[in-house]
Amino acid sequence: MTENVVILGGGTGGTLTANRLRKQFSRGELAITVVDQDRAHVYQPGLLFLPFGLAHGEDLIRPRHRQLKKGIDFVESDIDRVDVDGHRVLLAGGQELPYDVLVIATGARLVPDETDGLTGPGWMEKVFTFYDLPGATGLEQALRDFEGGRLVVNVVDMPIKCPVAPLEFCFLADWYFHERGIRDRVQLTLVTPLDAAFTKPRAASMLGGMLEDKGVELVTEFNTGEVDGAAGKLVGFDEREVPFDLAVVIPVHSGAAYVGRSPGLGDALDFVETDPHTLQSKVAPEIFAIGDAANLPASKAGSVSHFEGEVLVENITRFLRGEPLDASFDGHANCFIETGFDKALLIDFNYEQEPVEGHYPGPVGLPLLKESRLNHLGKLMFQWFYWHSLLPGRDIPGVGADMPRAGKHIDRAPRSAPK
């Protein structure tokens, strides 16, 4: 009998899950359907480079269905809701998709409207985000026109996708204005709700030092209550104010809107409550979640989806066979952090182990938590791996799903305490 797997979302997690499943099961065994609201698969790590003229929008987009192997159905439609008890997905047009296994892979969405004033006067004129294509494109022009003044980068609230990206933006802005010869006329400030530059203590202290070296002011524990574009200021809930001439704001994130419309599926922010080790949802045994859509205590990053793929497909297989699930996902994340002037850092960590120094993936490899040109080249090369290795569901040689401990200077750093 053919069983139905429906995958909601044709981004990183959905695509690699569909492709891995297609390799594992014949068409007679398993019908695989991927649903997405549009056809454009955006290489999201590239959005960081766009405002600085280092990438072009059209080069970051490929058709979603072309990333899916033969024998996978692609449906372009908005999703109305999931009928959890009825084991079916209701599409906006009225079509119903019954499922034996459902994979939620619809990621996180930006919700700028949730912050007072953010999309009001000045939005897309002096207030931008680089977290989507229109914002990053608009910001490119705004940066080109910027002749000096206060540039403020503001994270409104966590969780956000790629928590290092706001730092990378600051580092690249420092480089960009140097190149233009006007760095001394630009005041750069990073305004964050965190109590440091980053969430993990050791990387936070290293990255905080780099901000200081590059002359980027850091404002911490700032909870943005209002973005006043007309007056050019951020206003905190504690009434602190940060003035700006140009603001780059990372809006709050939620899960997909249909999650909120599906009774019992999501948490208060429309993310799906998910077991951190098996990736099975806590909603129903036949519902799994991958990537940003899940509420896991892991970074919302493509590398996490990639590392989750192996465990997820194993567990869908086990679930269909009625076997106990494999609880082996360790929260592995791996991020290049672009630091400007053709250099980058690399961090590699999981649920328990915070980023430390050393090398990745073993004692010989890319340097960890240390700036190098090699890491910058790694970051640039990654785009090729993304389309040709990660999305097709291939393993990258030497890069396993579990976080490697060899090569890391773990003894020098305490294990990060659970927060």
Partner 1 sequence: MTTATIAGSQVELNDEGFFEDPEQWTEDMVPELAANEDIHELDDKHWQVIRFMRQEYFAHGTGPTVRALGKTSGVSVKELYQLFPKGPAKIAARIAGIPKPKGCI
The residues that touch partner 1, with contacts defined as CB under 8 A, are 157-159, 163, 193-194, 199, 221, 223, 225, 237-238, 252, 267-269, 273, 297-300, 418-419
How many residues are there in the chain?
Answer: 419
CB of 190 to partner 1, least distance (A): 15
**Nearest CB to partner 1, comparing residues 294 and 346:** 294
Judged by CB, which is closer to partner 1: 143, or 162? 162
Least distance from partner 1 to the Cβ atom of residue 158, Å: 4
Choice between 115 and 189, CB closer to partner 1: 115
Q: Minimum Å distance from CB 283 to partner 1?
A: 13
Minimum CB–partner distance for residue 62 and partner 1 (Å) = 29
Contacts of 419 (CB under 8 A, 6+ apart): none
DSSP string, 139-163: HHHHHHH--SEEEEEEE-SS--BST
DSSP 3-state percent helix, strand, coil across the chain (nearest 5): 30, 30, 40
Rg (CA), the chain: 21
Between 57 and 193, name the residue whose CB sits nearer to partner 1.
Answer: 193
> Please, are residues 129 and 248 in contact by the beta-carbon 8 Å criterion?
yes
- 344 and 380 in contact (C-beta within 8 Å)? no
Give whichever of 100 and 114 is closer to partner 1, judged by the CB atom. Answer: 114
Closest approach, Cβ 28 to partner 1, in A, equals 41
Closest distance to partner 1 from the beta carbon of 221 (Å): 7
Which is closer to partner 1, CB of 351 or CB of 385?
351
Neighbours of 71 (CB within 10 A): 13
User: In terms of CB distance, is 91 or 203 closer to partner 1?
Assistant: 203
- Which candidate, 399, 412, 306, places its Cα nearest to that of 369? 412
Pairwise CA distance, residues 370 & 358, whole Å: 9
Write 116-121 long-range contacts (CB < 8 A, 24+). Answer: 116/225, 116/226, 116/227, 117/226, 117/227, 117/228, 117/229, 118/156, 118/227, 118/249, 118/251, 120/227, 120/229, 120/230, 121/229, 121/230
Smallest gap from residue 157 Cβ to partner 1 (A)? 6
Nearest Cα to 227, choosing from 118, 321, 374? 118
Judged by beta carbon, residue 202 or residue 300, the one nearer partner 1 is 300
Closest CA to 302 of 7, 13, 9, 10: 13
Closest to partner 1 by CB, 97 or 235:
235
Amino acid at 183: R
Instruction: Compute the least distance from the CB of residue 59 to partner 1, in Å.
Output: 30
Beta strand extents in 163-310 (DSSP E only): 186-191, 216-219, 224-228, 233-236, 241-243, 246-250, 253-255, 287-289
Shortest approach of partner 1 to residue 388 CB, angstroms? 29
